[in-house]
Amino acid sequence: MSCQLPTSELVCQLSVAVISLERMTSQTTIDTTGSGGGTPAAPSDATPGKGLRGHPWLTLITVAVGVMMVALDGTIVAIANPAIQKDLGATFAEVQWITNGYFLALAVSLITAGKLGDRFGHRQTFLIGVVGFAAASGAIGLSDSIAFVVIFRVLQGLFGALLMPAALGLLRATFPAEKLNMAIGIWGMVIGASTAGGPILGGVLVEHVNWQSVFFINVPVGVLAVVLGVWILLDHRAENAPRSFDILGIALLSTSVFCLVWALIKAPPSEWGWGDAKTLAFLGVSVLGFALFAFWETKVKEPLIPLALFRSVALSAGVVLMVLMAIAFMGGLFFVTFYLQNVHGMSPIDAGLHLLPLTGMMIVGSPLAGAMITKFGPRVPLAGGMALTAIAMYGMSTLETDTGSGLMSLWFALLGLGLAPVMVGATEVIVGNAPMELSGVAGGLQQAAMQIGGSLGTAVLGAVMASKVNSDLADNWTKAGLPPLTPEQEHQASEAVQVGVPPVAPGTPDAVAAKITGVAHDTFISGMSAASLVAAGVAVVAVLVAFLTKRGENAGAGAGAAHI
């Protein structure tokens, strides 16, 4: 079977597939405003209160199955990259595009995808996203060249962007206000568990099957999500849903986000560097693009993102909080995987298992956080969660080369417990403070904030790590009595040490190799400690931002209240 299917033909076939599935069952659309506008309600046997269509908890299960694919692919593929590189004969730069292409497509498209859901309905957008994501995954598994892997990874990102905001839009429209936080809590639990479980599942599949299985596994999951979606999901349309597209706004925003994320990807010292003209140029274009986008949005009749949204201090604080949380979490956790594998010598599977306390606390904490936020409001749980995150990141700054599993597990568990209320609460604050007709855009904002925050955290904390390693390595090397390095050798050694790898050349005597390993690990630990302290500082700032949030003003009862 050839995987050289033109993009336009692939999209066409995906659309036909969804339309065919739609014809298998009646489609129901209801006006979420209750004003009688929009599409008339369907017959009584399909409306909320009777049958399974539109049932809130079944809707949650359905969207969770789809979202699980996207969250899992954010981390599971990293384990498969070495096997892909070896099997397809790819260069390191080409393998980087397997991750960067997916991430860029996802980050650039999220808000626009949310707008598509608001315009055409979140049910249809979700189904197309699921079918497209599963089909692109299968195509990657059938690919015999790195070029096709990267192309279909970009398609995965685009279809994933359709799926994620639509899932939030469906939850917002289906659940009444008093149950929404619990639903978002479970939704966040699925994302957290899938993200953290990716390395474990990926390690098992790559080790015992092959790298293609990492992508093929999405196909049956996608089929299940589509079957459930056609059977369960109810399409809710707001009366004031947008009727046109802000094409120039989409172009300006997409270009600005692309330039920002690309600059952050290339900014680390191992790539361009922060002071490089190319990095500064992309950042400059991004800033200019965002300024032009903001100006244009005040002029167009139906803007992509009505700037009036940000008059809500709570919504704006929720977006900022999501960015800060992602900086502290994703940026700080980025080095932990290197610490476990390259300093402690764990296999990818063992490293994933050592992160289970983090996953477990997110699984347990997310629904509990939803219940707390429903009862007490978001401010105290959000502030408390970021305070726990700050403490956990400070604790991770104290890790040493010989730290035991018990102490590591304590800090990982505390981090998961702190993140749970933030994932739930910030999402509810953003989506709940947006009008119903903009719930997709709000969901896109939430996801884009997390993606940009994660990229920013990795870049900024990576720069902190690199700076600390560069300043300490030469002195530590000299104190260990090792032979002096040339500037080129020192540069290469620094790059290796930044990921915890001892720069031991083949044939090095064991005694010398042991000294080099000790220097490399000690220097890496000092860099990770500095990066973790910066992440802790970011979390402290987020504690203050959390006090600006409040319960969603527009989270009125959804259409599915009668089911609960």
Same-domain status, 332 and 294: no
What's the CA gap between 325 and 453, in Å, rounded?
A: 7
What's the CA gap between 276 and 47, in Å, rounded?
A: 59
Q: Which of 207-216, 379-388, 530-539 has the lowest mean pLDDT?
A: 207-216
Write the CA distances from 491 to 478, 485, 529, integer angstroms.
Answer: 15, 9, 21
Mean pLDDT for 270-292 is 87
Exposure string of 465-478, with b = 16+ CB inside 10 Å and e = fewer, is bbebbbebbeebbe
| Final residue in a domain of this structure, among 228, 245, 262 | 245
Question: Given a cut of 70, is residue 43 above it in pLDDT?
Answer: no
What is the pLDDT, as a whole number, of residue 1? 39
Residue 186 C-alpha from the chain's centroid: 16
What's the CA gap between 546 and 540, in Å, rounded?
A: 10
User: What residues form DSSP beta bridges with 236?
Assistant: 30
Mean pLDDT for 354-361 is 83
Same-domain status, 89 and 165: yes
Residue 11 confidence class, pLDDT cut points 50, 70, 90: very low
What is the pLDDT, as a whole number, of residue 537? 93
> pLDDT digit string (tens) for 196-233?
677 778 778 887 888 888 899 899 999 999 999 998 88
Question: 39 lies in a domain?
Answer: no
Same-domain status, 453 and 523: yes
What is the pLDDT, as a whole number, of residue 49? 44
In this structure, what token pair is assigned to residue 431?
């989506």
In this structure, what token pair is assigned to residue 160?
């994933």
Split into its structural domains, the chain has a count of: 3
What is the pLDDT, as a whole number, of residue 157? 87
Instruction: Tell me the average pLDDT of the chain.
Output: 79
Judge contact between 152 and 276, C-beta under 8 A.
Answer: no
Same-domain status, 285 and 324: no
Q: Which of 59-63, 325-329, 544-548 has the lowest mean pLDDT?
A: 325-329
End-to-end CA distance of the chain: 47
SS3 237: strand
Mean pLDDT for 114-142 is 89
Mean pLDDT for 445-474 is 82
Burial class (CB in 10 A: 0-12, 13-18, 19+), 480: middle
Query: Residue 350: phi, psi to the nearest 5?
Result: -60, -40
Question: Given a cut of 80, is residue 253 above it in pLDDT?
Answer: yes
Residue 247 confidence class, pLDDT cut points 50, 70, 90: confident
Mean pLDDT for 369-391 is 88
Residue 240 confidence class, pLDDT cut points 50, 70, 90: low
Question: 40 lies in a domain?
Answer: no
Q: Of 463, 461, 489, which is closest to residue 477 (Cα–Cα)?
A: 489
Q: Which of 118-127, 299-308, 412-421, 472-481 has the lowest mean pLDDT?
A: 299-308
pTM for the full predicted model:
0.74
Same-domain status, 10 and 130: yes
Question: 37 lies in a domain?
Answer: no
Judge contact between 387 and 325, C-beta under 8 A.
Answer: no
Amino acid code (one letter) for 236:
H
Question: 86 lies in a domain?
Answer: yes
Judge contact between 122 and 235, C-beta under 8 A.
Answer: yes
Question: Given a cut of 50, is residue 556 above it in pLDDT?
Answer: no
SS3 167: helix
Write the CA distances from 332 to 189, 243, 400, 502, 534, integer angstroms.
Answer: 20, 42, 15, 21, 9
- Torsion over CA: 483, 487, 488, 491 (sign): positive
Same-domain status, 126 and 273: no
Same-domain status, 253 and 232: no
What's the CA gap between 333 and 335, in Å, rounded?
A: 5
In this structure, what token pair is assigned to residue 444?
């896109």
Question: 564 lies in a domain?
Answer: no
What is the pLDDT, as a whole number, of residue 51? 61
Question: Given a cut of 90, is residue 134 above it in pLDDT?
Answer: yes
What's the CA gap between 249 and 247, in Å, rounded?
A: 5
Q: Map 446-483 to HEC letters.
A: HHHHHHHHHHHHHHHHHHHHHHHHHHHHHHHHHHCCCC
Same-domain status, 265 and 326: no
Question: 561 lies in a domain?
Answer: no
Residue 27 confidence class, pLDDT cut points 50, 70, 90: very low
Residue 238 confidence class, pLDDT cut points 50, 70, 90: low
Same-domain status, 382 and 424: yes
Same-domain status, 191 and 223: yes
What is the pLDDT, as a whole number, of residue 45? 34
Question: 192 lies in a domain?
Answer: yes
Q: Map 317-338 to HEC letters.
A: HHHHHHHHHHHHHHHHHHHHHH
Dihedral angle at the C-alpha atoms of 172, 176, 182, 188, nearest 10 degrees? 0
Question: 126 lies in a domain?
Answer: yes
Same-domain status, 3 and 146: yes
User: Residue 500 maps to which CATH number?
Assistant: 1.20.1250.20
Write the CA distances from 50 to 47, 229, 563, integer angstroms.
Answer: 6, 17, 8
Residue 513 confidence class, pLDDT cut points 50, 70, 90: confident
What is the pLDDT, as a whole number, of residue 526? 92
DSSP 271-297: TT-TTSHHHHHHHHHHHHHHHHHHHHH
Amino acid code (one letter) for 533:
L
| Final residue in a domain of this structure, among 245, 265, 290 | 245
What range defines the domain where residue 285 resides? 246-303
Same-domain status, 159 and 266: no
Question: Given a cut of 90, is residue 97 above it in pLDDT?
Answer: no
Question: Given a cut of 60, is residue 42 above it in pLDDT?
Answer: no
Judge contact between 286 and 259, C-beta under 8 A.
Answer: yes
